[in-house]
């Protein structure tokens, strides 16, 4: 059996092909976002109501638009793959089923958070608690509880992570560095820059594009790793559905 493909009820899926398609889509969206930022900055076209709405469809710093929806789909895809792995691991009484379930729940929460922007709601009350002024890298104050959650999750999953095969372990590590580096690392840098310069200039916009690029890249690498894990561990996965006659 070809270990580089997964078969779902006779439908073969190549992990590398899926990752490549997702990568092309992500690159296209980031390229479009950078393009509209440059166009807006150098032409002032965004001052026109119609063009402002058009630009907002592709701006990665705007919520509820095409890039947001794509990022949400990436996280949801990862959630589904983690759920499949959890069920498969439970069926064969494998170790660390709980850890796979924790990951599935975490990515489900991330999916909801991506589309609802719940983390943005936390920013204002936390900033008020910190005094509002001179927050530096913690200007976007939501990063504080989320950073604590990432550290706690890393501690909880450390033994599970070390148990993984070396190739999958490296893939997951790269994915985590990319995603966390974008979601938290560049958010810290961008927050500091925004506080110092009091506005969304072109440099800040480029920070945002780098941040989103890293998040999308991390999600895609993680999805590729999950697909490879299923392919190497199970080869073919079959879903059976009961057909109940009325």
Q: How many residues does the chain have?
A: 246
Tens of pLDDT, residue by residue over 5-59, are: 655 554 567 888 999 999 999 999 999 999 888 888 778 776 666 667 777 888 8
The pLDDT of residue 236: 60
State if pTM tops 0.85. yes
Q: Which residue has the tokens 């710093």?
A: 61
88 vs 52, which has greater pLDDT?
Answer: 88
Residue owning tokens 């907002």: 56
pLDDT of residue 42: 79
- What is the model's pLDDT at position 246? 45
Tell me the pLDDT of the chain averaged across its residues: 85
In angstroms, the first-to-last Cα distance of the chain is 39
65 is written with which tokens? Answer: 């638009």
Q: Give the pair of three-digit tokens for residue 200.
A: 């969304």
The mean per-residue pLDDT over the stretch 109-131 comes to: 84
% of residues, the chain, pLDDT over 90: 50
Picking from 160, 175, 116, 126, the residue whose alpha carbon sits closest to that of residue 146 is: 126
Which tops the pLDDT comparison, 3 or 82?
82
Residue with tokens 């850890």: 99
Q: What pLDDT score was predicted for residue 86?
A: 96
> Which pLDDT score, from 0 to 100, does residue 20 have?
95
């Amino acid at each position: 059996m070809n270990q580089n493909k997964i078969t779902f009820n006779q439908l073969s899926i190549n992990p590398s092909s899926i990752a490549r398609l997702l990568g092309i889509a992500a690159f296209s969206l980031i390229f479009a976002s950078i393009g509209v930022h440059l166009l807006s900055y150098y032409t002032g076209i965004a001052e026109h109501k119609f063009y402002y709405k058009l630009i907002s469809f592709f701006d990665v710093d705007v919520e509820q638009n095409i890039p947001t929806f794509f990022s949400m789909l990436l996280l949801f895809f990862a959630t589904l793959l983690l759920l499949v792995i959890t069920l498969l691991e439970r069926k064969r009484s494998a170790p660390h089923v709980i850890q796979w379930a924790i990951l599935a729940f975490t990515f489900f929460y991330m999916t909801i958070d991506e589309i609802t922007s719940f983390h943005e709601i936390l920013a204002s009350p936390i900033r008020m608690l910190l005094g509002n002024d001179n927050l530096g890298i913690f200007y976007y104050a939501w990063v504080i509880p989320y950073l604590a959650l990432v550290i706690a999750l890393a501690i909880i999953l450390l033994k599970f992570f070390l148990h993984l095969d070396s190739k999958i372990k490296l893939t997951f590590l790269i994915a985590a560095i990319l995603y966390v580096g974008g979601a938290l690392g560049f958010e810290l840098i961008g927050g500091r820059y925004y506080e110092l310069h009091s506005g969304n200039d072109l440099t800040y916009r480029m920070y945002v594009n780098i941040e989103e690029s890293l998040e999308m890249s991390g999600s895609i690498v993680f999805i590729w790793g999950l697909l490879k894990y299923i392919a190497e561990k199970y080869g073919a996965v079959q879903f059976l559905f009961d057909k109940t006659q009325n």
